[in-house]
Structure 1
Amino acid sequence: MPRGRPSCQPFRAEDEQALPNSRYILRAAAPDAIGILADVAGYIARAGLNVIESQDFGDSDTARFFIWVEFESPDGFDRATFEAGFNALAEKRSMTWSLRRKADRPRALIMVSKGDHCLNDLLYRHRRGQLGAEITAIVSNHEDGRWLAERHELPFHYVPVTRDTKLEAEDRLRQLIRETQSDFVVLARYMQVLSDGLCRELEGRCINIHHSFLPSFKGAKPYHQAHKRGVKLIGASAHYVTADLDEGPIIAQDVSPVDHRLTPQRMAEIGRDIEARVLSRAVTAHAEGRVFLNGIRTVVFE
C-alpha cells in the first residue's frame, strides 16, 4: 500500500453487530400452483423457525412462482435435517431452491476500464459493509484503477486486451474467477465486449451497467447525441450479461429529468451518478439472492 494512505478495512459502526450465524436466506422457484406458498410457510413453521422477512410473486405470463425468505433459527438448528425435508417438498413441487447463511456473503470480481465512478461507489459501499458481497479482486484492461485497488487493499490484475489477444485475456479472466473463488462478476464500466462463449458461461452471474435509457444513441458520446436531440430524461440500467449486447434481463433502472439548460458535460455527470447507484443496487440485490431469472425478465424483491 502506498505510504501515507490510511487503511481501508470494512467499516463497522460501534453499535453495528456482525450478522448472526442463525440467519438464513431461502430462495425457491417452481411452477405456479395452488398451495405452494402454504406448503413452504408450513414447513418453515413446523421446523420452529422465525421468519424475519418474506416475499413472493406469481407470474401469470410464465406460470412461475417465486419465494424469498429470511429466517432465524433457534439454538440447535439442524440444517441437514431441514434441507432433507425441504428437498422432499421441492421434488413434489418441481422446485429449484437454495439455502445459505446470510453471513456467508457471495464473492464478486469487479472489472473496469478507465472510468472509475462505478468502481469507486462499489468500493465505498464494500468498505462500509453495505454492498452485500465481498469483493475478491479488481481486473482491468488499463492501469488507471490500480491506485483505487491499492487504496482499498484489494488485489489488482492488469489484463490488457487487443484484437489479437482477446481470447487469451478471457482465459486469464476465467483463471482469476477460479483462483479468487468468485461467485459472480461485475462489469463496472468495463469497455470490452465479452465473447458469446464467455457470456454463456457466466449466465445469471455477470452484471453490467448501461445507459440504456438512451436506446437511440448508440456508439460514442451518447450524452452528446442526447443533448443534440433535446431529450428530457436520461438514465441507466443494470442487467445480466448475455450474448445479445446490452439486452440481458434487467435488474435495476433509474432516471433523472434534464432540460435544455444542461450541457452535454453536465448530462454526462448526471449519467455517471445514475450509473453508479443503479449498479450498486443491482449488485446488492443479486448478492442478497433477491433476483430471480424469469425467462428474459427478472423478478426482483426489493
Structure 2
Amino acid sequence: MSSPSNQPQRTNGAQDKSGRARMLISCPDRPGIVAAVSHFLYEHGANIVQSDQYTMDPEGGMFFIRFEFDLNDLDKELPVLVEDFARVADRFEMKWHTFRASRKKRLAILVSKEDHCLLELLWQWQAGDLNADIAMVISNHPDMRKLVESFGIPFHHVPVTADTKVEAERKQMELVADKADIIVLARYMQIVSPKFIEHFPNRIINIHHSFLPAFVGGKPYAQAYNRGVKIIGATAHYVTEELDGGPIIEQDVQRVSHRDNVEDLKRIGRTIERVVLARAVKWHIEDRVLVHQNKTVVFN
C-alpha cells in the first residue's frame, strides 16, 4: 500500500497563493455590508482580488459574499484579522469562515464497482486541476485496488454486508478520522448512517444519477426509461439524512429519445455523472459554496 508521501508530484502552473485567503459570509441583508467588509480588509492591509455577492431579498432577506484577498505575512496577520473581524460580524449577524487558499483540502473517496467518477477525480488530481490531496480511496469491493494504487494513493477494502454494516462504517470512520476534510461518494452504492453524516456536516458530496428531485433512490435510469423521459441528468449534492435530499451543488442534463434503452441511458449518464461530480468537488475545495437551509449559493 502506498503512502501519501509517495504520491507523484504535479505542477499546474498556478500562481503562488501562499499569501491568499478566502472569506465566506452569510447574513441578513441590509445596507452597508459590502462597504463595512471592504473597509475592514483595507484597514488590515488586505488586497481584494475577487469578490462575489448575492442577495435573496426580497424573498429571503439573506445576503451572501465571497472574498478572495492577498495579505502580506499571512501566517502572522490572518489570526489577527480573524479576531478583529468578529466585531464586524457581530454587528451584521454574520455567519462567516476564512480559509487559506494554499491549504489543500484532504479528500477521502468512497466507491463501489463503477470507476468512471473515481477516474475523473484521479485524472483531474493528477493533472493538477483538482487542487486537493486525495488521502485515500475506500471501497466495499476490491476491484479498484490496482487502479488506485497506480496513482500512488492508499486503497482500503472495507466489505459491507447487512450483518457487518455497522462495523464496516466504524472502520471507515476510523480510517478517515483526522485524515480527511471531505468525503466524496463517487458512485458508492451504500447509504451512510446519520452518525457518519454528523461527523461531516455539509462535507459529504454524493453523485446521484438522476436530475433530482426526479427519480430518488435506486435504479434511476430504469425509472427514467419507464417514465419515457426526454432528458436525463445527474446531481451532485451534500449528503443529509434524507435520501438524495441534501443541498444541490451542481446538475447537468443530456437529451435522450425513445430509441434509447436503459443501457443507453446508463452510458450517456456516466459522462454527465463524472463531470458534475468533479465540478462540485472543485467548487467545494475552492470555497465557492455556501449552504443556506436546504439550498446552496455557488460562486462559480
TM-score by length of 1: 0.90
Corresponding residue for residue 140 of structure 1: 139
d(CA) in 2 for partners of 1:197, 1:141: 19
> Which SS does the other structure have where 1:21 is aligned?
coil
One-letter amino acid of the counterpart of residue 282, structure 2: T
Range 72-81 or range 228-237, more displaced: 72-81
Is 1:104 the counterpart of 2:116 in the alignment?
A: no
Q: Which runs of 5+ in 2 are unaligned?
A: none
What do the CA deviations read for 1:54-111 (whole angstroms, capped 9, x no partner)? 1111223432221111111235872232222212211222222222221101111100
Select the residue among 236, 239, 246 that pairs with 1:238. Answer: 236
Corresponding residue for residue 25 of structure 1: 22
> Which SS does the other structure have where 1:78 is aligned?
helix
Q: Give the root-mean-square deviation of aligned CA atoms.
A: 2.2
Corresponding residue for residue 112 of structure 2: 113
For residues 31 and 220 of structure 1, do their structure 2 counterparts lie closer, same or farther at Cα, with a shift above 3 Å needed? Answer: closer
d(CA) in 1 for partners of 2:278, 2:286: 12
d(CA) in 1 for partners of 2:286, 2:14: 18
For residues 235 and 10 of structure 1, do their structure 2 counterparts lie closer, same or farther at Cα, with a shift above 3 Å needed? Answer: farther
Q: Which runs of 5+ in 1 are unaligned?
A: none
d(CA) in 2 for partners of 1:97, 1:221: 39
For residues 218 and 239 of structure 1, do their structure 2 counterparts lie closer, same or farther at Cα, with a shift above 3 Å needed? Answer: closer
d(CA) in 2 for partners of 1:20, 1:229: 49
One-letter amino acid of the counterpart of residue 160, structure 1: P
d(CA) in 2 for partners of 1:71, 1:88: 19
For residues 192 and 291 of structure 1, do their structure 2 counterparts lie closer, same or farther at Cα, with a shift above 3 Å needed? Answer: same
Q: Conserved in 2, the CA contact under 8 Å of 1:142 and 1:158? A: yes
Q: Conserved in 1, the CA contact under 8 Å of 2:289 and 2:299? A: yes
For residues 173 and 89 of structure 1, do their structure 2 counterparts lie closer, same or farther at Cα, with a shift above 3 Å needed? Answer: same
For residues 216 and 57 of structure 1, do their structure 2 counterparts lie closer, same or farther at Cα, with a shift above 3 Å needed? Answer: closer
Corresponding residue for residue 251 of structure 2: 253
Corresponding residue for residue 287 of structure 2: 289
d(CA) in 2 for partners of 1:219, 1:49: 47
Corresponding residue for residue 278 of structure 1: 276
Is 1:54 the counterpart of 2:51 in the alignment?
A: yes
One-letter amino acid of the counterpart of residue 223, structure 1: Y
Is 1:85 the counterpart of 2:87 in the alignment?
A: no
TM-superposed CA distance for 1:215, in Å, is 5.5
Corresponding residue for residue 205 of structure 1: 203
> Which SS does the other structure have where 2:267 is aligned?
helix
Corresponding residue for residue 41 of structure 2: 44
TM-superposed CA distance for 1:42, in Å, is 1.2
d(CA) in 1 for partners of 2:95, 2:84: 14
Is 1:122 the counterpart of 2:121 in the alignment?
A: yes
Corresponding residue for residue 160 of structure 1: 159
> Which SS does the other structure have where 2:146 is aligned?
helix
TM-superposed CA distance for 1:128, in Å, is 1.2
Q: Conserved in 1, the CA contact under 8 Å of 2:210 and 2:216? A: no
Aligned-pair identity (%): 43
TM-superposed CA distance for 1:141, in Å, is 0.4
Aligned residues: 295
* 1:220-235 equivalences in 2 (<5 Å): 221-235=219-233
What do the CA deviations read for 1:276-299 (whole angstroms, capped 9, x no partner)? 010111111111111111101111
Q: Conserved in 2, the CA contact under 8 Å of 1:108 and 1:134? A: yes
TM-superposed CA distance for 1:213, in Å, is 1.8
TM-score by length of 2: 0.91
